[in-house]
């Protein structure tokens, strides 16, 4: 057994089962997280980035205020701190509104786009295996 790698539980010989695909996905995600190309994200940063990605995918523009309130599991203060850390790690950028400079939008950087693309490819590879 490889340390840090998840193996299929005993009694799961069918490598095409949904559980097997999920374990493959988890292993692929772990590998992406360990790539030197991407900064290390703590669970809250990753949760927020995932929430932002879902909104961005729907074509939504996320303000800083909305970002601070997106997760019921994270206080607005913690969300704001993690937003600053995601910005410092080069995963998001803040863009001022064209009309009202007090409004800042959270947008993905090229690095975030690459990270989210890699994660999406993990889903595809796990299903194809």
Question: Which one of 1.10.10.10, 3.20.10.10, 1.10.30.50, 1.10.287.1040 gives the CATH number of domain 18-128?
Answer: 1.10.10.10
In this predicted model, what pLDDT tens digit does every residue of 2-11 receive, in sequence order? 555 555 454 4
Can you give the residue ranges of every domain in the chain?
Answer: 18-128
In this predicted model, what pLDDT tens digit does every residue of 35-72 receive, in sequence order? 999 999 999 999 999 999 999 999 999 999 999 999 99
DSSP-derived 3-state class of residue 119: helix
Average pLDDT over residues 19-42: 91
In this predicted model, what pLDDT tens digit does every residue of 70-125 receive, in sequence order? 999 999 999 999 999 999 999 999 999 999 999 999 999 999 999 999 999 998 98
């Amino acid at each position: 057994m490889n340390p840090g790698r998840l193996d299929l539980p005993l009694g799961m010989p069918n490598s095409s089962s949904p559980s097997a695909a999920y374990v493959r996905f988890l292993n692929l995600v772990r590998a992406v997280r360990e790539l030197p190309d991407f900064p290390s994200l703590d669970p809250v940063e990753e949760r927020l980035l995932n929430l932002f990605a879902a909104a961005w995918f729907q074509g939504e523009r996320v303000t800083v205020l909305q970002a601070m309130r997106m997760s019921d599991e994270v206080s607005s203060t913690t969300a704001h701190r993690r937003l600053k850390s995601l910005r410092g790690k080069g995963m998001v950028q803040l863009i001022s509104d064209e009309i009202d400079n007090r409004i800042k939008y959270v947008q993905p950087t090229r690095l975030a786009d690459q990270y989210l693309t890699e994660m999406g490819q993990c889903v595809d590879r796990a299903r194809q295996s």
